[in-house]
Amino acid sequence: MPEKNFYPPLDKKDLPKPPHWTKALGVGVVVMGLAIGTGELILWPHLITKWGLGLLWLALLGIIAQYFINQEVARHAIATGEGFFTSSARVIRQSAIFWLLAAILLYIWPGWASSIGTILKELFGFGSHLMWSWVSFALILVLTFSGRIAYNVLEKSLKITVPAFFVLLVVISFFNLNWTIISQAVRGVFNFGFIPQDVDINVLLSAVVFAGAGGMLNLCVSLWYRDKQIGMGAYINQITNPITGRAEAVSPVGVTFDPTEENVKRWKGWMKFVRIDQGIIFLLLGFITLFLLAVNAYAVLSPQGIVPEGLKVAVVQAEIFGKHWGVVGYKAFLAMAGLMLFSVMWTVIDALTRMVSDILYTNSQVGPYQKYLKFLKHTSLHKIYYVTIALVVIIGALLLPFKQPLTLLVISAVLGGLTMAIYTPFLIYLNNTRLPKPIRPSLFTNIVMVFISIFFIYFAIRVIYNYLV
């Protein structure tokens, strides 16, 4: 019997048969849409321009770490059909409140929209950065509300914007890079152990942490796989647009399976898809993207002796490309950066919306917080999602004209590292105690996850210490 005011046990059904592998792919594209954000556009180009190509090995380790995190988040979601936040609350019921507040504090700020506005103003040559920022917000709402199923709209759109960005990056790299620089960069990827003595260790650690999605965004992998109906997520209805689609009831809790011989065989098929999805699209293409962005920045900025900060990395590169390749080179780089940032902004907004919607909906239906959320008891997950994404966009649009308070941004950055230090060891516990033995992580995966956990805990302690001392 479930504990009073706690979460009910999972029902049991057979694990569905995995489809053709091409139908299981897609979440890797979504996560890659996140991965081409701060680390790739700002932190790594800044570090490589200032300290050289020999640091690229740390970028490789950082994105490999996130591959394993994504795999372990997906493991539990595929086995239970539940999002991470419900599975977490089954162990520590108060964690639902923590994750809800952390998600809002981390991702409500409209930094990406402001950055896109600046780039689009330069790209089109008219209007203000605020106007273009608001336009990008409006476009997200139009795209989101135009489709029947929220996840499908996001995935299909990113399957256009991410490849378009990648092709532009490859074309720019073809004209900008030579074999000498590429060979130096490849050596830097395998230059294990090299760290300059006077490097800013905090910036370096932050870049490693965010070589990929980073923060709580990795946890949203569980919600995207569930909405794609991978594994036991096939028994959970998708978030459907209440305007253009017929909303169906979504279970607040998941479904699991007995580890029979047939189910374990099917399980291996599903995990194979996750490894392809996260390994080829997120890890391989994600690292190539990071590699090319950092090496392009090095090739363009280092000869000029320029080490710009923040978004100026992209703007200065565009200006220098314009000197070499004229208006076409200038516009091409800005278009690439704009596509990249739009992918990041939309995916972050969707991730925040999913996390908030999932936590509010689940805890309004079951668990110890029903009495506090009883006003949502008869509200569907679909309505909560679409109302929330509209609110997130409106709040972001209202915050755009104001400078983001430095204190809140510092809290946001620290909290991002702290969440990873908390949930990486928790994932190890969750997957090794709450799943049947035949589908638990291998010894190798557990060893890798332990080292990843130690790194993130060290990062969190180091950041907290620096801000307190």
For residue 290, give the CATH number of its domain. Answer: 1.20.1740.10
* 195 domain-assigned: yes
Q: What is the pTM of this model?
A: 0.88
- Number of structural domains, the chain? 1
Range of the domain at 110: 11-468
Q: What is the pLDDT of residue 204?
A: 78
* 87 domain-assigned: yes
Q: What is the pLDDT of residue 447?
A: 97
* 1 domain-assigned: no
Three state DSSP letters for the chain: CCCCCCCCCCEECCCCCCCCHHHHCCHHHHHHHHHCCHHHHHHHHHHHHHHCHHHHHHHHHHHHHHHHHHHHHHHHHHHHCCCHHHHHHHHCCCHHHHHHHHHHHHHCCCHHHHHHHHHHHHHHCCCCHHHHHHHHHHHHHHHHHHCCEHHHHHHHHHHHHHHHHHHHHHHHHHHHCCHHHHHHHHHHHCCCCCCCCCCCHHHHHHHHHCCCCCHHHHHHHHHHHHHCCCHHHHHCCCCECCCCCCCCCCCCCCEECCCCHHHHHHHHHHHHHHHHHHHHHHHHHHHHHHHHHHHHHHHHHHHHCCCCCCCHHHHHHHHHHHHHHHHHHHHHHHHHHHHHHHHHHHHHHHHHHHHHHHHHHHHHHCCCCHHHCHHHCCCCHHHHHHHHHHHHHHHHHHHCCCCCCHHHHHHHHHHHHHHHHHHHHHHHHHHHHCCCHHHCCCHHHHHHHHHHHHHHHHHHHHHHHHHHC
Q: What is the pLDDT of residue 406?
A: 46
* 134 domain-assigned: yes
Q: What is the pLDDT of residue 158?
A: 79
* 430 domain-assigned: yes
* 5 domain-assigned: no
Q: What is the pLDDT of residue 320?
A: 67
Q: What is the pLDDT of residue 311?
A: 58
> Mean pLDDT for each 10-residue chunk of the chain (469 residues)?
64 90 77 68 78 89 92 94 92 91 87 79 83 90 80 78 81 84 92 83 75 82 89 81 60 88 94 89 87 84 68 66 72 78 84 93 89 88 90 90 58 72 94 95 96 88 73
* 2 domain-assigned: no
Q: What is the pLDDT of residue 80?
A: 94
* 4 domain-assigned: no
